[in-house]
């Protein structure tokens, strides 16, 4: 199983962990090609 994160308002998945990863990393992974990710604080 591959971990991934996405939003229902946009594409189905925006970031995922590499398929070669063998352990739970606890992060959202790397952005997929063509996806820009920004961390914003309000």
Across all residues in the chain, what is the average pLDDT? 76
Which residues are paired to 16 by β-bridges?
A: 4, 30
pLDDT band at residue 37 under the 50/70/90 scheme: confident
Q: What would the mean pLDDT of 15-38 be, rounded to a whole number?
A: 81
Q: Which pLDDT tens digit goes with each residue over 9-22? A: 666 677 788 878 78
If you write DSSP's letter for every residue of 1-42 in order, what string do you get? ---EE--TTS-S-SEE--TT--S--SS--EEPTT--------
């Amino acid at each position: 199983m591959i971990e991934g994160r996405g939003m229902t308002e946009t594409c189905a998945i925006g970031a995922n962990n590499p398929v070669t990863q063998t352990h739970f990393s606890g992060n959202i992974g790397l952005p997929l090609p063509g996806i820009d990710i920004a961390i914003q604080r309000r």
